[in-house]
Amino acid sequence: MVSSDPSREHALGGVYAFIAYVMWGFLPLYFLLLAPTGPFEVVAWRILLSLAFCAILLTVTRTWPKLVAILRNRRLVVWTMVAGALIYVNWQVFLIATLTGHVVETSLGYFINPIVTVLLGVLVLHERLRITQWVALAIAASAVVVIILGYQAFPWIALSLAFSFGFYGLVKKQIGPSVDAISGLTLESLWLTPIAIIQLVVVSLTVGLSMGQGTPLHTVLLSLAGVVTAVPLLLFAAGARRAPLTLIGILQFAAPILQFIIGVWVLGEPMPPERWIGFALVWVALILLTVDSVVAARRARTSRIVDDAPSDVAELT
């Protein structure tokens, strides 16, 4: 039951979203605990176990009819297939990066993601940007150039994560509320099941599967891959329905901040000066976007109050 108190709902939504982002922020540590399981096996189990966990949730919540209704809509089926392909790329790149010592670059990807979302709004949705947003995009582009020239490496991990998740969000926007979080993850996992099975077969024929071959703790942790995938997604969905978009936009930085801290100070990944400069430029761009978003939201709220004022006066008279 949803509370009628908007302030309480906003606060509750913020808590849900913050917990989701914190869980996503600590994901690198969870995946590192799964060693020696490789990235392709982890993603395969993540897909299959997510599907199993979602099936349980659909049964408990008695929402199978919603899933059936979505399957009868060809447009929604195609969009969920596209979403599945995009989230597969995101998961696979993230796992490869995490298990090969590139957690810092994954954090850069999720720092860049809000900027990519703005860029996609211009290129795909033909949205008009404010001057501050254009400045933020220019600074972010310069950050990528600094990293490429100074670090002498193309940040393919960061850009792959940013654009795959950016397009994933765009697809979710096209789907809208027609597909709930549980049904969406169920279908995305379902479409990826053949890929997961192929990956498990290839891994079993090459290096061998690790599921059940290690300690009991390792088996339990690997078996929780579906829960670890689904729970933050469902918390985020619950938070996004309740909290204002500006609050969600600010809270989303919790995940990459935690990943950055883990990469630099827990795992000891290198941070040469040129990488610090690149990150600093990205952070400046994000500060500009955040401030611009907050100011724009306040202006819109003030405008609505002014527009509603005459009708309120009329009611009083």
Q: What is the pLDDT of residues 88-125, one digit of tens each?
A: 999 999 999 999 999 999 999 999 988 888 888 888 88
Residue with tokens 């969905």: 237
What pLDDT was estimated at residue 72? 95
**Is the pTM for the entire model greater than 0.95?**
no
Query: For the CA atoms of 69, 70, 72, 75, what is the dihedral angle to 10 degrees?
Result: 150
225-242 and 39-60 helices, crossing angle to 10°: 60
For residue 309, name the pLDDT band (cuts at 50, 70, 90).
low
User: What are the distances in angstroms from CA 309 to CA 298, 312, 317?
Assistant: 17, 5, 13
- CB-CB contact of 288 with 237 (8 Å): no
pLDDT at 310 over 60: no
- Select from 218, 239, 181, 313 the least CA-distant residue to 23: 239
Angle among Cα 48, 53, 55 to the nearest 5 degrees reads 95
Does residue 245 carry a pLDDT above 80? no
**Summary count for the chain: helices (H), strands (E):** 14, 0
Which candidate, 281, 247, 276, places its Cα nearest to that of 137? 281
pLDDT tens profile 118-162: 888 888 888 888 898 899 999 998 988 888 887 677 889 999 999
Per-residue pLDDT at 37 exceeds 80: yes
The amino acid sitting at 59 is T
Distance (Å, whole) CA 215 – CA 87: 30
